[in-house]
C-alpha cells in the first residue's frame, strides 16, 4: 500500500516493556477462537477534511485500520502529523475511535506502509529496539482504547520502494517481535483481548526470493494475515495487465492472483481462517503502444511511466527514498471512475471508453481508443467473485484499500462476507465495575468487551447511551457528571475536558 506523502518527525525510544511475559499459544488459540468474519477498511491519515470519519459506513465494517504510523526510526513509530490527535477536529483520530466504537467497529493503527518501512529491519533485529516498539504500541492502546496492532512491513528481506534497510534474517526477527508483542499484550490487557494482524505480500514474504519456511511459527500468535492481492501488475511492466486478478493467466503478467496468493500462504502453514484477502477500491492506468486487442488485456505498454489517473492524481515523491518518484501514479479511484465520466453505471462504460471483462482473471478493463489508455480495476461483479471465494474457502474475511475510494457500490458487493455475523454491539473499553458485568468474546472477529455506558442518577437524568440520538437541550449523566446537549448528538462520549464537543458539562453529581 504505497499511497500518501510522509513528513519526518523525531522519535525517542523507551526500553524494557515486556515484563518477562511469555505468551502461551494454547491459551491464545482458546481466547482468539471466533467464527465471526471480518471486513476491514484501511483509512489513510492524510485525507483530512476531504473524507472524515463521519463519512465511513461503520455498520458494514468490523474493523477500521488507521494508516499509517511509520517505522522510519529504528525504535518507535513516528507520525506524519500530530494534529490528527486533536480532539476537536472532525477528521482526527479521536473522532474515528469514538464513532467506530459506538458502532461496534474495532480500530487498530497500522504501522508501516510503502513509504513507512525503512527501519523495520533494525528495529526487529534488536531486543532493546523491539522493546521500545512494543512499549509504544501498548502505551498507544492504553491512551486511545484501540483494539490491537497491525504491522505493514513492505517487505521483510525486500527493499520495498528501494531504500529499506534489509537483512537475511528479517523474517526470523519479525517472528520474535510478534511473539514478544503477543506476550506484552497478554500481560497488559489480560481481560480485554487485543489483536495482532499483518499486511503481507501476495506470496511469502515479498523479498527477492519467496521465503515460506518459518511462516507456521507465526500462526499461534497472530489473528490474521492480510494478503495484499493487488498492485499485481501496473505501469512498471512493459505489458498491460490486471491490477488485482482473481486468477492469474499462466504465461502472462505476474504469476499470482487472489486465489494463488491465498493458497501460497495456506501452503506455508497459515490456516484459511487466519487469512483475509485483499480488495482494491481503485484501478491502475497504463498507456498502450499499440491499439488494444479486445480479446486480451495483455498488450504492449509504455513503461515505467503511467498516465495521469483521476482528478486526485499527481506527482509522487517518497520523502524517504529519493529514487521513488514519478510524475503520476495512474490510479483511478472507483468513486472517481463513476463521477468523472468513465462509467455511467457500475458495468457500463461512457464513450469513448469501452469495457471488457476477462473470464480468466475475472476482472474488467477499460480501453480508450482515442489516447490508447488502458485501466484495470474491480467492480461489483469481480468483487462478488472474490467474496464468494472467501466464503467458500473459509477465509477470515476481506480487507480493502482504502475506504474513501469507494462510493458505496463496492462495499455493498463485498459485505456478504460478514452476512452471517451476529449484530455488532458498541465497544466500551475498560473493566467491568462491581455493578456492571462485562461480556467478553473472542479476539478473532468483531468481538468486544461491553459494559454499561452511563451513570444513573444525577438529579434524575438518564444515563448516556452510545446508540441514543439526543436533541439539543437533553440532559444525561456520565461518570458521575451531568451534561447538556448543545446540539444533536449520537455516539459522542460526554467529556468535561472537551469544550468543543456536543456535550456541555454542568456539574458533578
Please indicate, yes or no, whether residues 381 and 491 belong to a single structural domain of this protein: no
Task: Work out the number of other CB atoms within 10 angstroms of the CB of residue 142.
Answer: 12
- The answer to whether position 501 is within a domain reads yes
| pLDDT of res. 37 | 98
- The answer to whether position 120 is within a domain reads yes
Give this prediction's pTM. Answer: 0.81
Please indicate, yes or no, whether residues 355 and 470 belong to a single structural domain of this protein: no
pLDDT < 70 stretches in the chain: 2-34, 209-212, 429-457, 459, 467, 471-472, 487-488, 499-500
Please indicate, yes or no, whether residues 269 and 174 belong to a single structural domain of this protein: yes
Q: Which three cell numbers stand for residue 247?
A: 486468477
Burial class (CB within 10 angstroms; exposed 0-12, middle 13-18, buried 19+) of 187: middle
Please indicate, yes or no, whether residues 210 and 256 belong to a single structural domain of this protein: yes
Task: Work out the number of other CB atoms within 10 angstroms of the CB of residue 82.
Answer: 9
CA 389 to centroid of chain Cα atoms: 20
Please indicate, yes or no, whether residues 383 and 495 belong to a single structural domain of this protein: no
- The answer to whether position 181 is within a domain reads yes
- The enclosing domain of 465 has a CATH number of 2.10.10.20
Please indicate, yes or no, whether residues 489 and 383 belong to a single structural domain of this protein: no
- The answer to whether position 337 is within a domain reads no
| pLDDT of res. 111 | 98
| pLDDT of res. 74 | 97
CB crowding 2-23: b at 16 or more within 10 Å, else e: bbbebeeeebebeeebbeeeeb
User: CB–CB of 90/82 below 8 Å?
Assistant: no
Please indicate, yes or no, whether residues 149 and 198 belong to a single structural domain of this protein: yes
- The enclosing domain of 244 has a CATH number of 3.20.20.80
Closest CA to 378 of 212, 270, 231, 189: 231
Please tell me the number of Cα atoms within 13 Å of 474 on its side-chain side.
18
Please indicate, yes or no, whether residues 461 and 407 belong to a single structural domain of this protein: no
| pLDDT of res. 429 | 64
| pLDDT of res. 441 | 32
At 322-339, the pLDDT tens digits run 999 999 999 999 999 999
| pLDDT of res. 28 | 52
- The answer to whether position 206 is within a domain reads yes
| pLDDT of res. 488 | 67
| pLDDT of res. 499 | 64
DSSP 300-312: BB--S-PPP-STT
Please indicate, yes or no, whether residues 121 and 174 belong to a single structural domain of this protein: yes
| pLDDT of res. 419 | 96
Q: Coil, strand or helix: which one is 385?
A: helix
| pLDDT of res. 416 | 98
Please tell me the number of Cα atoms within 13 Å of 125 on its side-chain side.
14
| pLDDT of res. 144 | 97
Please indicate, yes or no, whether residues 116 and 32 belong to a single structural domain of this protein: yes
- The answer to whether position 18 is within a domain reads no
Cα 199 from Cα 122, distance rounded (Å): 19
Segment (H or E) for 41: strand 38-44
- The answer to whether position 14 is within a domain reads no
Please indicate, yes or no, whether residues 234 and 114 belong to a single structural domain of this protein: yes
Three-point CA angle 315, 318, 323, nearest 5°: 95
Please indicate, yes or no, whether residues 177 and 72 belong to a single structural domain of this protein: yes
Helices and strands (H and E) in the chain: how many: 9, 25
- The answer to whether position 500 is within a domain reads yes
Read off the DSSP letter of residue 69. Answer: E
* Crossing angle of helices 170-188 and 127-144, rounded to 10°: 40
| pLDDT of res. 35 | 79
What is the C-alpha radius of gyration for the chain, rounded to an integer number of angstroms?
23
Three-point CA angle 15, 19, 25, nearest 5°: 120
Q: Which domain holds residue 486?
A: 454-508
Q: How many structural domains compose the chain?
A: 2
Amino acid at each position: 500500500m504505497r499511497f500518501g506523502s510522509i513528513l519526518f518527525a523525531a522519535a525517542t525510544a523507551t526500553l524494557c516493556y515486556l515484563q518477562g511475559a511469555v505468551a502461551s499459544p494454547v491459551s491464545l488459540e482458546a481466547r482468539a477462537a471466533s467464527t465471526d468474519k471480518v471486513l476491514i477498511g484501511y483509512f489513510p491519515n492524510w485525507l483530512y477534511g476531504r473524507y472524515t470519519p463521519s463519512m465511513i459506513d461503520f455498520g458494514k465494517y468490523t474493523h477500521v485500520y488507521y494508516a499509517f504510523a511509520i517505522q522510519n526510526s529504528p525504535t518507535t513509530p513516528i507520525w506524519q502529523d500530530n494534529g490528527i490527535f486533536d480532539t476537536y477536529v472532525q477528521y482526527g483520530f479521536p473522532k474515528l475511535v469514538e464513532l467506530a466504537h459506538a458502532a461496534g467497529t474495532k480500530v487498530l493503527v497500522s504501522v508501516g506502509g510503502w513509504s513507512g518501512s525503512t527501519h523495520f529491519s533494525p528495529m526487529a533485529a534488536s531486543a532493546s529496539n523491539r522493546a521500545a516498539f512494543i512499549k509504544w504500541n501498548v502505551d498507544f492502546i492504553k491512551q486511545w482504547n484501540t483494539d490491537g496492532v497491525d504491522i505493514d512491513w513492505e517487505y521483510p528481506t525486500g527493499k520495498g520502494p528501494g531504500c529499506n534497510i534489509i537483512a537475511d534474517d528479517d523474517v526470523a526477527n519479525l517472528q520474535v517481535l510478534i511473539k514478544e508483542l503477543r506476550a506484552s499484550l497478554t500481560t497488559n490487557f489480560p481481560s480485554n483481548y487485543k489483536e495482532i494482524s499483518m499486511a503481507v505480500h501476495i506470496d511469502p514474504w515479498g523479498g527477492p526470493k519467496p521465503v515460506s519456511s518459518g511462516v507456521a511459527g507465526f500462526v499461534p500468535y497472530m489473528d490474521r494475515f492480510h494478503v495484499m492481492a493487488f498492485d499485481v501488475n501496473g505501469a512498471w511492466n512493459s505489458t498491460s495487465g490486471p491490477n488485482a486478478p482473481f486468477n492469474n493467466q499462466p504465461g502472462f503478467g505476474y504469476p499470482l492472483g487472489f486465489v494463488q496468493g491465498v493458497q501460497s500462504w495456506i501452503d506455508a502453514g497459515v490456516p484459511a481462517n487466519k487469512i483475509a484477502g485483499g480488495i482494491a477500491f481503485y484501478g491502475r492506468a497504463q498507456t498502450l503502444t499499440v491499439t488494444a486487442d479486445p480479446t486480451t488485456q495483455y498488450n504492449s505498454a509504455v513503461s515505467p511511466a503511467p498516465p495521469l489517473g483521476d482528478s486526485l492524481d499527481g506527482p509522487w515523491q517518497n520523502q524517504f527514498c529519493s529514487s521513488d518518484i514519478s510524475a503520476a501514479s495512474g490510479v483511478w479511484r472507483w468513486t472517481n471512475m463513476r463521477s468523472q465520466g468513465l462509467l455511467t453505471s457500475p458495468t457500463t462504460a461512457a464513450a469513448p471508453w469501452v469495457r471488457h471483462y476477462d473470464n480468466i482473471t475475472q476482472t474488467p478493463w477499460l480501453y480508450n481508443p482515442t489516447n490508447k489508455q488502458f485501466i484495470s480495476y474491480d467492480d461489483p461483479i469481480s468483487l462478488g467473485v472474490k467474496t464468494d471465494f472467501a466464503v467458500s474457502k473459509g477465509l477470515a474475511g476481506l480487507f480493502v484499500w482504502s475506504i474513501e475510494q469507494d462510493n458505496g457500490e463496492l462495499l455493498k458487493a463485498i459485505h456478504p462476507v460478514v452476512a452471517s455475523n451476529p449484530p455488532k454491539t458498541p465497544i466500551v473499553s475498560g473493566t467491568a465495575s462491581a455493578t456492571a458485568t462485562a461480556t467478553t468474546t473472542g479476539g478473532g472477529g468483531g468481538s468486544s468487551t461491553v459494559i454499561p455506558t452511563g451513570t444513573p442518577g444525577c438529579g434524575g437524568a438518564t444515563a448516556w447511551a452510545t446508540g441514543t440520538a439526543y436533541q439539543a437541550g437533553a440532559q444525561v449523566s456520565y461518570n458521575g457528571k451531568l451534561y447538556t446537549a448543545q446540539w444533536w448528538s449520537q455516539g459522542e462520549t460526554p467529556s468535561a475536558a472537551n469544550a468543543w464537543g456536543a456535550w456541555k458539562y454542568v456539574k458533578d453529581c
